[in-house]
Amino acid sequence: MNLRDAHQIRDAVNSGEITAKEVAAMALRRIEEANRKLGAFITCDSEKVLERSGEIDRKVKNGRLPLAGVPVAVKDNICTRNLRTTCGSRILENYVPPYNATVIERLEEAGAVIIGKANCDEFAMGSSTENSAFHPTRNPYDLDRVSGGSSGGSAVAVAAEMAPLALGSETGGSVRQPASFCNVVGLKPSYGRVSRYGLVAFASSLDCISPIARNPRDVALLLTYIAGRDRRDSTSVPLPVPDYFAEMSKPVRGMRLGIPREFFGEGLDPEVKSIIETGIRNTESLGCELVEISLPHTKYAIADYYIIAPAEASSNLARYDGVKYGFRVPDPADLQDMYRRTRSMGFGAEVKRRIMIGTYALSSGYYEAYYGRAMRVRTLIKQDYDRAFEKVDALLSPVSPTPAFRLGEKMSDPLAMYLSDIYTVTANLAGIPSLSVPCGFTKGGLPVGLQMLANQFEEGTLLRLADAYARACPVDAPPLKI
pLDDT tens track for 102-136: 999 999 999 999 999 999 999 999 999 999 999 99
At residue 425, the 3 state secondary structure works out as helix
400 noted as active-site residue? no
Q: What is the reported pLDDT for 18?
A: 98
Dihedral sign computed on CA atoms, order 397, 128, 470, 211: negative
Q: What are the Cα distances from residue 301, in Å, to 180, 221, 306, 355?
A: 20, 32, 8, 20
In angstroms, the CA 447 to CA 444 distance is 9
At residue 227, the 3 state secondary structure works out as strand
Nearest to 44 by CA among 112, 135, 109, 113: 113
Show the domains of the chain with their CATH numbers. 6-256+391-472 (3.90.1300.10), 299-373 (no CATH)
Give the CA count within 13 Å in the CB-facing half-sphere of 400. 33
Q: Is the peptide bond before 154 cis (omega within 30 degrees of 0)?
A: no
**Environment class of 62 (CB within 10 Å of its CB; exposed 0-12, middle 13-18, buried 19+):** exposed
- H or E element at residue 290: strand 289-293
Residue among 89, 132, 150, 397 flagged as catalytic: 150
Residue among 132, 151, 174, 314 flagged as catalytic: 174
274 noted as active-site residue? no
Nearest to 202 by CA among 77, 107, 112: 77
- Hey, what's the torsion of the CAs at 192, 193, 199, 205, to 10 degrees? -30
Q: What is the pTM of this model?
A: 0.98
Q: What is the reported pLDDT for 2?
A: 87
pLDDT tens track for 247-293: 999 999 999 999 999 999 999 999 999 999 999 999 999 999 999 99
Dihedral sign computed on CA atoms, order 442, 397, 420, 39: negative
75 noted as active-site residue? yes
- Which residues contact residue 272 at a Cβ distance below 8 angstroms, ignoring those fewer than 6 apart? 398, 400, 401, 402, 403, 442, 448
Residue among 21, 75, 117, 410 flagged as catalytic: 75
In angstroms, the CA 155 to CA 241 distance is 25
* 246-275 b/e (C-beta count within 10 Å ≥ 16 → b): ebbeeebeebebbbbebbbeeebbebbbeb
At residue 434, the 3 state secondary structure works out as strand
Q: What is the reported pLDDT for 324?
A: 85
Number of CB atoms found within 10 A of residue 236's CB: 20
Tens digit of each residue's pLDDT, the chain (482 residues): 789 999 999 999 999 999 999 999 999 999 999 999 999 999 999 999 999 999 999 999 999 999 999 999 999 999 999 999 999 999 999 999 999 999 999 999 999 999 999 999 999 999 999 999 999 999 999 999 999 999 999 999 999 999 999 999 999 999 999 999 999 999 999 999 999 999 999 999 999 999 999 999 999 999 999 999 999 999 999 999 999 999 999 999 999 999 999 999 999 999 999 999 999 999 999 999 999 999 999 999 999 999 999 999 999 999 999 998 889 999 999 999 999 999 999 999 999 999 999 999 999 889 999 999 999 999 999 999 999 999 999 999 999 999 999 999 999 999 999 999 999 999 999 999 999 999 999 999 999 999 999 999 999 999 999 999 999 999 999 999 98
Complete DSSP assignment for 38-90 = H--EEE--HHHHHHHHHHHHHHHTTS--TTTT-EEEEETTB-BTTB---TT-G
Residues pairing with 449 in the sheet:
438
- Which residues contact residue 367 at a Cβ distance below 8 angstroms, ignoring those fewer than 6 apart? 361
